[in-house]
Amino acid sequence: MIDPLLVTKGLTRRFGGLKAVDGVDFTLMPGEIRAVIGPNGAGKTTFVSMVCGRILPSSGAILFDGADITDMPAHRRVRLGIAYTFQITSVFPNLSVYDNVALPVQRTMGDGRAPHADVMTALDKVGLADRAAMQAGQLAYGHQRLLEVAMGLALKPRLLILDEPTQGLSDAEIEDFVRLVRTVAEDATVLLIEHNMPLVMQLADRITVFDAGRVLAEGTPEQIRADAAVQAAYLGTGAGEAA
């Protein structure tokens, strides 16, 4: 029996009177690609923000690899191997693309080694190696999204949380991205918030559907596609149309 990588128990976060996340029990197995979907305001980003430590829960517990990390500060969770890429692009716009990736790389490796090879490997994976010297703020939006992902990869995470990574990417870029996530999933677990349904159906091993702060359904892409409650709440009448 393999132990789960991430477990949340009764995870809740209130903002004033609003329960953005309401008693979520969630289990993620290592090696999985898990998609989290749901309408806007369903609590997806709040949920992953609690997992990575940007927001503290109002109640409930978070276990990572068996250890309770509910009260652990965000930077220490990153050191445990939880990497988060921001929904709203958050790179260092005034630094070079290279330096953006060198920062996570130098943190994960011991003193004395030069970060150069690892930086270029991470940039190669997302196809930005030829833009290493550019200022990050001058990259096209889609490329900034990819730089975010490269920074996440450079942390060598055990759990990579991608918050709407394909927002603003072209179709061709999305195809590259699917290949990239599959490579990443060979040695990391991926938790993916995504609105692009064809991509989710193609990529995810399992899907968790959020609605109004609760887990509405969970299962394989086929089960979710067939679930009547999900169709009513989120997918509309046809599975392929929602975005």
Partner 1 sequence: MSGQDKPAKIYALHLAVLAALFALNFVLPAYYHGLMARILVLAVFAMGYNVLFGYAGLLSLGHAMFFAAGMYGAGLGVVHFGLGVPLAFVSGLACGAVLSVVIGLLALRTSGVAFMIVTMMFAQVFALSLIYFAAWTGGDQGLVIPQTARMLNFGAVALDLTDPTVRYMTALALCAVALFMTAALVRSRHGRVLVAIRENEERTKMLGYDTFANKLVAVTVSGTISAAAGAAFALLFGYVGANFAGVQYSILPLLWVLLGGAATTLGPLLGTLVMYVVTDTASSFTSAWLLIVGVVLILLVLFFPKGILGTLRARWLGWLP
Q: Which of 23, 29, 92, 167 binds partner 1 (CB under 8 A)?
A: 92
Contact region with partner 1 (CB under 8 A), list: 67-75, 162-170, 180-188, 225-233:
67-75
Tell me which residues in 150-209 interact with partner 1 (CB under 8 A).
151, 155
86 touches partner 1 (CB under 8 A): yes
| Residue 68 CB, nearest approach to partner 1 (Å) | 19
Residue number with CB closer to partner 1 (81 or 142): 81
CA dihedral 215, 189, 113, 101 (to 10 degrees): -50
**Is 84 an interacting residue with respect to partner 1 (CB under 8 A)?**
yes
Binding-site member from 27, 108, 121, 231 for partner 1 (CB under 8 A): 108
Total number of residues binding partner 1 (CB under 8 A)?
30
Q: Does 96 contact partner 1 by CB under 8 A?
A: yes
Where in 32-61 is the site for partner 1 (CB under 8 A)?
A: 52, 54
Which residues lie closer than 8 Å to 99 by C-beta, 6 or more apart?
Answer: 92
Joined together, the tokens standing for residue 174 give 């999305």
The verdict on 74 binding partner 1 (CB under 8 A) reads: yes
Residue 102 is a binding residue for partner 1 (CB under 8 A): yes
Q: Which of residues 131-150 bind partner 1 (CB under 8 A)?
A: 132-133
Give yes or no for residue 93 binding partner 1 (CB under 8 A): yes
- Report the distance separating Cα 160 and Cα 133, nearest Å: 26
Q: Smallest distance from the beta carbon of 170 to partner 1, in angstroms?
A: 25
Partnered with residue 218 across adjacent β-strands are: 208
Distance CA 68, CA 61 (A): 7
| Binding track, positions 115-134, relative to partner 1; x by CB under 8 A | -----------------xx-
* Strand ranges of the sheet holding 6-15, from the earlier edge strand across to the other edge: 18-28, 6-15, 59-64, 67-68
Nearer to partner 1, 133 or 228 (CB): 133
Indicate which single residue of 17, 75, 186, 228 sits in contact with partner 1 (rule: CB under 8 A): 75
- Length in residues, the chain: 243
Our finding on whether 64 is near partner 1 (CB under 8 A) is: no
| Contacts to partner 1 by CB under 8 A | 52, 54, 73-76, 78-79, 83-84, 86, 90-96, 98-99, 102-104, 106-108, 132-133, 151, 155
